Amino acid sequence: MAGAAHCSLQVKRLLLDPKFEGYKLSLEPLACYQLGLDAAVAEVKLRDDQYTLDHMRAFGMYNYLHLDSWYQDNVYYVDQLGRVMNLSVTLDTALQKPREVFRLPTDLTAYDNRLCASIHFSSSTWVTLSDGTGRLYLIKSGKRGDSASEKWEIVFNEELGSPFIIAHSVSFVKSDAHSVAVLLLRVEEDELDTKGSGFHITLEWVTIGEISKEGDHRYEIFKRRVLQGKSVPHYAAIEPSGDGLMIVSYKPFRFMRDEDDKLEENDDAKATNEKKDPLYYWQQTEDDVTVTVHIPQDIDKDDIKVHFSLDNICITLKDQPPLMEGKLYSSVDHESCTWIITENKSLEISLIKKTEGPWWPEVIIGDTRGEFIMDSSQCSEITDNLMHLTSEVMNPNPEKENPPCNAQELEECDAFLEDGASLCRFDGDTLKITHVINLGSNQYLFSVVVDPREMPCFCLRHDVDALLWQPRSDQPENMWEHIATFNALGYVQASKQDKKFMACAPDYSYAALCECLRRVFIYRQPTPLSTVLYNRKEGRQVGQVAKQLVATLEANDPILGFQATSERLFVLTTKTLFLIKVNPGN
């Protein structure tokens, strides 16, 4: 990450509501429709050798229901017969049974080590599909959601090694040639990892391109790149142009290079890691700063020029470029500053501080070539000053009026499993990180497609709120835009210990989460009231209220899929597909 730009997420204050009072439980009924499935969903349970947290995150918590964001209220799933089933909703009261749009050529029951089948909709007419055995299909679908025009036709299929799931895919055109880029996720054994889980995560970035030669029209793989990391990414998506990749993960990913590139990379790493001796050493007291610079043996006093000013210093040797030059951290009494050549052939410079007392963190602003040396008396003084802040025991005096804060005082929903997640943007040509953001305690919550022509949005917890961020790969100066806020959702979701999936409407009108069994919680954005309501505690009129709604499904099977549109929630169990009408149609 040496050459990466360290960025930060810019929150839009106008999208925050500091006066948000919370959600009011609403008992208004929600219309809930259910469709029985002809065949059960093709759920693949974890095997005994898939025992790590990464296996659970990647495959155990997989969302088996796929939302086609290119067409409104259009969902797909794969059943145990290997059929890709579609439900397209136009009228809730006239629901049709899910219909078959494609059947996998592979007999899934013949594979013992397969993963769940996965689907991603690359464009309005292109689909990428994995059967979970290690084979990738590129399919031209026609206009989906319309039985008359929807026809899934395989244009490419190839075995790509060990089983994987599709994390993301995009369709794009460059130089008049159509291409599809696909991101494949695997959890693989790592024989070199003797102290960790024994597994690592790979993301394979595959680009499939259109080739037309003398009437031969086909699709072939023309680029394969592999990233490796030690944790399943929360978010991984390819830019719409196919030029870059964004990953949110707890532990970093890096590209695995060819042997020639590895040798070159190792040489670069050695050159970077070779520690250079400091150009100068410096010490300070409350009154002055002393800088010591080693000079060549052939340099004498007449070859040295030192210029002092109120805020600057310049040191030159003979007719060479300045050895040290720049603005000092603080002003000095330049008329009292001096320099001498010591017996061991070093240049010693004494800078007299204009203001006594304040300590300098550096001599020249931005110059990192020096090394600060602290004497033992200064170390002892700092230790004594900090002693009152530490103790050898936790909370040594619990009866004290204001005891020190400790982790036991935190609520469970304030604790984050992972505090070190980062957001990285990789360049597709150089395979290097160009932008990085340390997310710190901004816990990742979920992702959602707001505009299918853009990258998926991701939602992060900021304090108690949940903020939705839209990546803008074509805007390097402002690559992540804050587009919506779900008030207090960060705090609310943390209290739901049994939550499995989270989602939100593409128009931001509500957010929702479901538990492993039955219950679905819906959190609507604040809306104006049709009647007058007063806050009795504060004696003021309340203009709008945010509502929480709870739906309980009539099913004993675990929830396997969960998707949200602007009007409806789709919930998939092993044998049933539920539709919950959240908002009336426009």
Q: Where are the beta strands (DSSP E) in 190-311?
A: 199-213, 216-229, 235-238, 244-249, 254-256, 280-284, 288-294, 304-308
Domain termination residue (choose one: 344, 368, 392): 368
Clarify whether residues 442 and 338 are in a common domain: no
> Has residue 570 been placed in a domain?
yes
**In the chain, how long is the greatest CA-to-CA distance?**
97
Q: What is the dihedral of CA 47, 251, 437, 9, to 10 degrees?
A: 40
Residues 202 and 204: their CA atoms lie apart, in Å, by: 6
- Domain shared by 509 and 429, yes or no: yes
439 and 358 co-located in one domain? no
Instruction: Quote the pLDDT of residue 394.
Output: 59
Residues 251 and 154 in one domain: yes
Q: Residues with Cβ < 8 Å from 546, sequence gap 6 or more? A: 20, 22, 23, 24, 487, 523, 524, 525, 526, 527
Supply the pTM of this predicted model: 0.74
CB neighbour class for 212 (10 Å; exposed up to 12, middle 13-18, buried from 19) = exposed
What does the pLDDT look like over 35-87, one tens digit per residue?
A: 999 999 999 999 999 999 999 999 999 999 999 999 988 999 999 999 999 99
202 and 301 part of one domain = no
Q: What is the CATH number of the domain that holds 98?
A: 2.130.10.10
Q: Does residue 354 lie within any of the structural domains?
A: yes
Are 34 and 166 contained in the same domain? yes
Residues of the chain with pLDDT under 70: 1-3, 147-148, 258-275, 388-419, 529-543, 585-586
Question: Could you tell me which of 524, 568, 522, 527 has the C-alpha nearest to residue 549?
Answer: 522
Name the residue type at position 387.
M
What's the CATH code of the domain at 322? 2.60.40.790
Contact yes or no for 294/346 (Cβ under 8 A)? yes
Q: What is the pLDDT of residues 255-295, one digit of tens each?
A: 987 644 544 445 555 554 555 788 899 999 888 999 999 88
Q: Say if 123 falls within a structural domain.
A: yes
SS3 521: strand
Cα–Cα distances in angstroms (integers) from residue 111 to residues 49, 59, 114, 134, 202, in the given order: 16, 16, 6, 11, 22
Structural domain contains residue 403:
no
What order do you get walking across the sheet with 135-140 strand by strand? 118-121, 126-130, 135-140, 153-159
Per-residue pLDDT, 194: 77
- The two tokens of residue 428 are 């597709």
Q: How many domains does the chain have?
A: 2
**Same domain membership, residue 313 and residue 248:** no
338, part of any domain: yes
In the prediction, which pLDDT does 259 show?
47
Alpha-carbon radius of gyration of the chain: 31
- Residue 193, SS3 per DSSP: coil
Say if residue 153 is in the same domain as residue 77.
Answer: yes
DSSP 463-504: TTEEEEEEE-TT-GGG-EEEEEEETTHHHHHHT-TTEEEEEE
Segments forming the whole domain that contains residue 284: 280-368
Dihedral angle at the C-alpha atoms of 531, 535, 541, 542, nearest 10 degrees? -60
Give the pairing of strands 244-249 and 199-213: unpaired
Residues 252 and 313 reside in one and the same domain:
no
Q: Are residues 134 and 161 in contact, defined by beta-carbon separation less than 8 angstroms?
A: yes
Token pair listed for 476: 């390097």
Same domain, 252 and 290: no
- For residues 44 and 179, membership in a common domain is answered with yes
Q: Is residue 65 part of a domain?
A: yes
User: What pLDDT is stored for residue 111 in this prediction?
Assistant: 81
Alpha-carbon distances of 296 from 99, 263, 276, 505, rounded to whole Å: 83, 36, 17, 69
Last residue of a domain, one of 368, 389, 424: 368
pLDDT on residue 112: 81
Domain presence at residue 407: no
Co-location of 318 and 215 in the same domain:
no
* First-last CA distance in the chain: 47
* Residue 271 domain flag: no
**Which pLDDT does position 156 carry in this prediction?**
93
Q: How far is CA 344 from CA 140, 183, 283, 337, in A?
A: 78, 61, 18, 21
